[in-house]
Structure 1
Amino acid sequence: MGYDQESHTVVLDLEGTDSRERGEFAGAYERKSALFALALSEVLMVNIWTQDIGRLNASNLLLLKNILELHVQLFIAAQKSSEKIPFKTKLMFILRDHVSSPLSKLTEVLTNDVKKLWDSIEKPVEMKNSVLEEYFDLEFYSLPHKNLRPEEFMKAASEMQAKFRSGAFLDGDVYNRKVEADELALYGKSIWNTIVSNKELDLPSQREMVSVVRCDQASDEVGQTLAAELSALEQELKPIQALDERSSDLMQKAKTMFREKTTRQIQSVVLRKEASLAESLSQVLTKLMRDQIETVSKAELTKVREKLDALGEVETPWTAFERQTVEALRIASSEFDRWCKVPEGIPQMSEGLRTKRADLLKDLDHEIEITRQEVVEKCQDAILQTFQQIVQKKVVPVIDMGLNAECWSAALEEMKHANATADDQCTMMLGSDGVGLHEDELEHIEVKVREACLSWLFANLRKLIGGYEGVLRRMKQRFNQLFRFDESGNPRVWAPRDDITTIFDAAQKGASDMGDMLATISLGEYGSQDVVDNNSLRELKQQLDSDAAVAFVDARHAQEMARMKTKVPMWAVVLVGVLGFDEAKMVLKRPALIFLFLAAFVLIYFAYLIRVHEMIWEPLRDWAAPYLQILKGRLEEWIENNENSSNTIYSSTTAKASEPTNSVLSGASVVESSAVDERSSEKESVSSSKKEH
């Protein structure tokens, strides 16, 4: 191999085709070396002895035939390449030891021979009608005999050298194989390895392989150059300022450096390798951007959570809740967009960035929704509390103090006011000026709050009424209020003329109506609930009837007493006073005794008028005086004996305490018997005196 620095021309000197070193393998080697030369060379120089022109083997016509066939193969492969490499070769025949034959005659003979060879070789269909000149340029140059005419030989050689240096033999890019000097060794080695391994030679593939190697080398060099900058960027504190701009600068710098190093390579390979380099670099930058996104997302999510926690701790968290959360969401989105932008020249990051931004917004919406639900629950509690206060202040007193047929109507009016207040509060707290619920959500919450209020109301009304016992107690109170008390609220005193039955029926009906009213809480459009069922209500009415019957009997008895006290005559009072109630009753039941009593009364009254009692009283007093005197003495004696007996009992022992008592009793019995005898004797004397009188 020779190299001319002035013309930048490389000359390859191949082994002769007729060398003895190859032996029986000369033919195979000849084809391989010819293919190698044809693949690399833009100008193929064929040395022919002038005297061998017209001969088959001596003039290398068989070698030319191989060259033509191989050229067809290489040309077809080149045309299939995306590079569309122009593959035309100049065949320069060097006629050695030219003496006297005209050069034109020799040129004509060789040209005809080469054309015949071209026509004789196998060609593809698309090249059937092609001519030699489309693929080869023939040029002939003669050199005198070196030994016989050395000066002329050197002169002709110098002239040929000058033509090569001037580029006269190379017509622009027609023959250019587009192989750079620094790639020639790699390119030639690859071609020779392919030829030796008996593989089909594809020159575009060989050139592409060289370009791949060179592009890989350039890519590694660029990566090493940017490694320090990437490392510094990775070590920087997150979030990184202007990461998108710095990433774009790195990507642009890498592409610029790569293109500068691969300007002479196949463009398709360069673009492919540049894309590979950009992909590798974008993976590193994407990781940085992913870390940036993660850091910013966590920071913004934390800020929003702190904001929501602060909102939840205030006394009225629903105040401007929607406006504050929208503002917090806007700030978080703006911060994310400020720190996380798609770098120019790295469009593949855009999809991932959009996804991460959507994930952040989704997480923020989730946090806001959780807090919103908590605030909604607080709103519901506040609305229910306000409703309860209104009910306790307005509705409960109406029911508790005025239980009558109109109490539910009055309670219903107060309920409408309480419910309207709850609806207004719900709209104010949960509407656009508050939590910011949509109309359907707001309507759903209003229904839910209304149901909670009604549920609490019915539960408290049932508690206020008191269930079975409460209904019974209130029915009794109602009965007593109507039956035992008058319209002024004073206890009723039953007069003889009072219509107890009518009052009783009215009281019983009022108590029954009270039971019917309390058995079912009826609030019109807001619904109704049973406090006691029908069976229990019947039992309550039966029990009320039993208690009312007792009250009715007592009232009847009191009225009878009042009637008796009003109509009893004086004589009946005297009669009862004299005879006693039972005896008077017996007398009243027997009319004969009444007439006998009246007759006796008339006689006594007549005797009183004629002063019969004075006539009887004087003798009776005189007669009873001795007896009274004796009775008085006996009593004094008996009292004295009792006192002595008591003293004896207290002074004596317990064992003998009975003896004085017995003596006294015996003495008393003696005295009593003697007194009886005396009274009997006195009676006899009195009776005798009466007879005498």
Structure 2
Amino acid sequence: MSNAVSSSSSSFVPVEIQDAIQIIDEHKQFNKQILDYISSRSRQPGDYRIISVFGSQSTGKSTLLNHLFSTNFDVMDEVNRQQTTKGIWMAVSPGVSNSLPANAHVPPENILVMDVEGTDGRERGEDQDFERKAALFALSTSEVLIVNMWESQVGLYQGANMGLLKTVFEVNLSLFGKAKLQNNDHKVLLLFVIRDHLGVTPMESLAATITQDLLRIWEGLNKPVDVAHLAFDDFFDLAFHTLSHKVLQNEKFLDDVRSLGNKFLDTSSESFLFKPNYHHDIPIEGWTMYAENCWDQIDHNKDLDLPTQQILVAKFKCDEVAAQCFEEFAKVSHELKNIAVTATQSTEPIDYKDTGLGFQDMKQSVLEDYDLGASKYNKSVYQQKRASLAEKIDSTLQDVFAIYAKHLVTTSLKAVSAGLSRKTRSGTFVEAMEKLKQSSAHDFSQSLALISLDGALDTRPFEKEYLAELEQLVSKQQIVELNSILSKALKKLNNGLSTCFVEELANPSELTWDHILEKFQALSKSALSKYETEEGDYDFRLGTLPSMNKRALKTFDFKSWELLDDLIHKYISKDNLLNILKDRFDDKFRYDENGVPRLYQNTKELEGSFSESKTHALKAFPILTVARLSDGTEVIPKYDVRDKKLKRQYETVREEKEAEEEDEDEWDSEDDENQRAFAELLSESEKAEVMAKFKREMDAKFVETKRSIMQHVTQIPYYIYIVILVLGWNEFMAILRNPFFFTLLIMLAGATYVMYSMNLLGPASIVVQRMANEALGLAKEKLREFVVDDHMQHGHNMKKMTTNDIELDNLSEEST
């Protein structure tokens, strides 16, 4: 090594001035600058191959490496023949000697070459601890272990390092035995390079001898029971190559070296040495850590489990790469959450497909970055850590996903609500609701799947929430439709009962309430008859539960009786009852049995008719003040329709849970003091008031009618008409001679005849008489007002004069 520290030096020096680096010195210290050296010397980033050389001291190991891999390890001083390489050294091969076509000497990967301190050196004497540990380290970290030996050493035990190899084989079982039981196909290539080959003994014979020795050693190993069945070739592959004498046959030696180099480069050759299963599946960034851990285990004589060490390194490095990738992702995810909040608060619709693709691109980008840095490590660890990273990404995106999912739940339910409120539906309500539920659930699930990263994000809570809310919406709409059916039925019942009340109240009788109750029961049954099933139950064709249908029937029952109560008090109030009595009285008092208006001739006839008419009118009074059937029993409703609690309970059809909660909260009851029985239509005070008004008004009619009779009975004597005729003869003749008056007389006579022929003279005379009476009454009233007003004015003036006199008297007294 020119201008560099020699291989025999035992101190670590800066990497930038070294052709090779001492990775383990003779004091068993590990150099932590290996990665810096490799990074500075590698021609290009990428994969790597590691080759170690192993053999006796002064057998030309460093010389072989320098010629084969173009390295610059120190070689032995042939004069002094002392130890050259101390510890373990490493160099990056700038190129492999070969005889391939031009430019083919550049290896496709970086080749790292380790030069291991020779065995059986006089410097260490009988201390073989480092030799064993160095050989074990080379075996555990290399893909190809070159065993450098002279042709004369073939067949020897110590000279061929067979004793050391036996130790290495035993340790190798502990390294890879458990992995082999798990179908691990990793192997190490033992490349025996036989130096100073004269050609007398063919290479095949030498190879057979070495192979027999190795197999004999393998058979003699103390193998653990669980790996005793494993063979030599389960762990090792063998390759052989001979080199001519370097000094005596230098050109032939160089040709042999180039021939060996071809085996490291020519991938198309059957003798290509770098097999895939030789690699440790650890990238160079992790190999240095792996090598340090291996040496620590070996140096402290601990049981070395190489697969475990590889996994530990892979875990550490994969965790490191994953942490870096996730840190970058976390920065972006915060902004993504802000975008989600803004998007869900906007009125613009969200494109869930683009949003989902954005999630996938972001996740894939992070995983690709992870793959770039971690895919070279142990595959199972790499995949495990990749899955963990994916879970962390999913967990972070779950928060963003939740924002979109909640918004999707809200908007989807609004759309369903709008669909439920539409009146234009095809088919039955159940069919329309089922179709709407299926389509909305499908659209919701499809949109949710678009942003769920192909199911990686948990959609179940939102699907469960949506379906629950959807069922609740449909249930509410069922109740709306159910209440609508009941409202229509009650309207039909109201119309039928109103007609019945009008008919019955026109002519009340003892059977009035029987007829009303029968009509009520018939209409109540027919109102919902189309929903009655063959079994006697009711199905409103809304998909409601039987319990809800029963509750609807109870509500209809209560509302029916409540409607009956309302109609009773609508048609039978104080004023209406008074009008009914008056109408009944007038029908009897003013008209005869044929409906002809009555004209009373005397007071006796009037008094008889008045008494009869009043009795007829009051016959309806007990019927219309108490709802009593013909058998004497009062009408008793199925429910107490005036109870506040029942009114609230049966106001509308509601969910059973909602009704129960309201029942618990609204427990107050109606004040019983102001309540009366359902059948009691008017209170005693109201009855008395109606009777008093009726009596007063009927008495007034009686007096008025009697007055008209008295006026009719008090007639002018007949002889007066003769006197008028005699005394007014001239005036009468003047009228006949005057055309105008004569025409007027003819018209009056004609009108009188027409009324006579139509039997209307009686009613006409009554009308004329009433008009005369009204005119007379009006004249009397005006005269009375005039007289009373004049008298009151006179009294007022007298009072004023008296007051003035009193004031004057007071003044006189004061003056005195």
Unaligned runs of 5+ in 1: 145-149, 315-319, 475-480, 482-487, 493-509, 533-693
Q: Which moved more, 1:55-64 or 1:454-463?
A: 454-463
1:4 equivalent to 2:93? Answer: yes
1:207 equivalent to 2:313? Answer: no
Q: What's the CA shift for 1:159? A: 4.2
* Residue matched to 2:504: 398
Contact in 2 for aligned 1:88/1:174 (Cα 8 Å):
no
**Corresponding letter in the other structure for 2:449:** K
* Residue matched to 1:290: 402
Contact in 2 for aligned 1:31/1:66 (Cα 8 Å):
yes
Q: What's the CA shift for 1:329? A: 6.6
TM-score by length of 1: 0.54
Contact in 2 for aligned 1:387/1:418 (Cα 8 Å):
yes
Per the alignment, in what secondary structure is the counterpart of residue 139 of structure 1? strand
What is the CA–CA distance in structure 2 between the aligned matches of 1:515 and 1:274, rounded to whole Å?
Answer: 88
Q: What's the CA shift for 1:112? A: 5.4
What is the CA–CA distance in structure 2 between the aligned matches of 1:224 and 1:260, rounded to whole Å?
Answer: 16
- Structure 2 residue aligned with 1:414, among 519, 532, 535? 519
Q: What's the CA shift for 1:328? A: 8.2
Contact in 1 for aligned 2:504/2:512 (Cα 8 Å):
yes
Change (3 A) 1:524 1:211: closer
Q: What's the CA shift for 1:449? A: 0.9
* Residue matched to 2:261: 165
1:37 equivalent to 2:138? Answer: yes
Q: What's the CA shift for 1:211? A: 3.8
* Residue matched to 2:561: 454
Change (3 A) 1:339 1:489: farther
Per the alignment, in what secondary structure is the counterpart of residue 517 of structure 1? coil
Change (3 A) 1:120 1:374: closer
* Residue matched to 2:383: 271
Q: What's the CA shift for 1:133? A: 6.0
Unaligned runs of 5+ in 2: 1-89, 97-109, 265-270, 345-349, 533-537, 582-587, 589-607, 613-622, 640-675, 678-816
Tell me which protein shows more helix as a share of its residues: 1
**Corresponding letter in the other structure for 2:555:** K
What is the CA–CA distance in structure 2 between the aligned matches of 1:323 and 1:115, rounded to whole Å?
Answer: 82
1:348 equivalent to 2:456? Answer: yes
Q: What's the CA shift for 1:229? A: 5.4
Q: What's the CA shift for 1:408? A: 4.3
* Residue matched to 2:221: 121
What is the CA–CA distance in structure 1 between the aligned matches of 2:251 and 2:129, rounded to whole Å?
Answer: 37
1:13 equivalent to 2:115? Answer: yes
Change (3 A) 1:92 1:181: farther
Per the alignment, in what secondary structure is the counterpart of residue 138 of structure 2? helix
Q: What's the CA shift for 1:292? A: 0.3
Contact in 1 for aligned 2:149/2:192 (Cα 8 Å):
no
Change (3 A) 1:353 1:214: same
**Corresponding letter in the other structure for 1:166:** N
What is the CA–CA distance in structure 2 between the aligned matches of 1:47 and 1:3, rounded to whole Å?
Answer: 20
**Corresponding letter in the other structure for 1:445:** A
Q: What's the CA shift for 1:90? A: 1.3
Contact in 1 for aligned 2:493/2:524 (Cα 8 Å):
yes
What is the CA–CA distance in structure 2 between the aligned matches of 1:163 and 1:388, rounded to whole Å?
Answer: 114
**Corresponding letter in the other structure for 1:165:** G
* Residue matched to 2:630: 517
Change (3 A) 1:304 1:44: closer
Contact in 2 for aligned 1:6/1:165 (Cα 8 Å):
no
What is the CA–CA distance in structure 2 between the aligned matches of 1:375 and 1:211, rounded to whole Å?
Answer: 66
TM-score by length of 2: 0.47
Change (3 A) 1:157 1:176: farther
**Corresponding letter in the other structure for 1:5:** P
Contact in 2 for aligned 1:43/1:90 (Cα 8 Å):
yes
Deviations 1:434-467 (A, max 9, x none): x88678855652453134323654798799999x
Q: What's the CA shift for 1:35? A: 1.4
Change (3 A) 1:491 1:520: same
What is the CA–CA distance in structure 1 between the aligned matches of 2:471 and 2:231, rounded to whole Å?
Answer: 77
Q: What's the CA shift for 1:520? A: 1.3
What is the CA–CA distance in structure 1 between the aligned matches of 2:418 and 2:212, rounded to whole Å?
Answer: 96
Question: Identical aligned pairs, as a percentage?
Answer: 20
Change (3 A) 1:346 1:392: closer
Contact in 1 for aligned 2:401/2:452 (Cα 8 Å):
no
Change (3 A) 1:186 1:85: farther
Change (3 A) 1:363 1:121: same
Contact in 1 for aligned 2:243/2:257 (Cα 8 Å):
no
- Structure 1 residue aligned with 2:343, among 216, 238, 246? 238
* Residue matched to 1:151: 247
What is the CA–CA distance in structure 1 between the aligned matches of 2:437 and 2:208, rounded to whole Å?
Answer: 90
**Corresponding letter in the other structure for 1:42:** E
Per the alignment, in what secondary structure is the counterpart of residue 92 of structure 1? strand
Contact in 2 for aligned 1:211/1:266 (Cα 8 Å):
yes
Per the alignment, in what secondary structure is the counterpart of residue 304 of structure 2? coil
Change (3 A) 1:356 1:51: closer
Q: Which moved more, 1:29-38 or 1:451-460?
A: 451-460
User: What pairs up with 1:294-443 in 2 under 5 angstroms?
Assistant: 294-301=406-413, 336=444, 339-343=447-451, 346-349=454-457, 352-367=458-473, 369-370=475-476, 373=479, 376=482, 380=486, 384=490, 387-388=493-494, 390-395=496-501, 398=504, 401-404=507-510, 406-416=511-521, 418-419=523-524, 422-423=527-528, 441-442=548-549
Per the alignment, in what secondary structure is the counterpart of residue 89 of structure 1? strand
Question: Over the residues paired in the alignment, what is the CA RMSD in angstroms?
Answer: 5.5
What is the CA–CA distance in structure 2 between the aligned matches of 1:54 and 1:277, rounded to whole Å?
Answer: 55
Change (3 A) 1:389 1:43: closer
* Residue matched to 1:77: 178
Per the alignment, in what secondary structure is the counterpart of residue 85 of structure 1? coil
1:67 equivalent to 2:179? Answer: no
Q: What's the CA shift for 1:63? A: 1.0
Change (3 A) 1:461 1:229: closer
What is the CA–CA distance in structure 1 between the aligned matches of 2:634 and 2:219, rounded to whole Å?
Answer: 118
Deviations 1:462-494 (A, max 9, x none): 99999xxx9xxx9xxxxxx9xxxxxx97648xx
What is the CA–CA distance in structure 2 between the aligned matches of 1:155 and 1:68, rounded to whole Å?
Answer: 36
Q: What's the CA shift for 1:94? A: 4.8
1:176 equivalent to 2:278? Answer: yes
**Corresponding letter in the other structure for 1:411:** I
1:185 equivalent to 2:285? Answer: no
* Residue matched to 2:765: none
User: What pairs up with 1:640-651 in 2 under 5 angstroms?
Assistant: none
**Corresponding letter in the other structure for 2:456:** Q
What is the CA–CA distance in structure 2 between the aligned matches of 1:460 and 1:22, rounded to whole Å?
Answer: 124
Q: What's the CA shift for 1:162? A: 1.9
Q: What's the CA shift for 1:203? A: 2.9
Per the alignment, in what secondary structure is the counterpart of residue 347 of structure 1? coil
What is the CA–CA distance in structure 1 between the aligned matches of 2:496 and 2:229, rounded to whole Å?
Answer: 110
* Residue matched to 1:578: none
Contact in 2 for aligned 1:115/1:132 (Cα 8 Å):
yes
What is the CA–CA distance in structure 1 between the aligned matches of 2:172 and 2:373, rounded to whole Å?
Answer: 32
Q: Which moved more, 1:234-243 or 1:62-71?
A: 234-243
Q: What's the CA shift for 1:291? A: 0.6
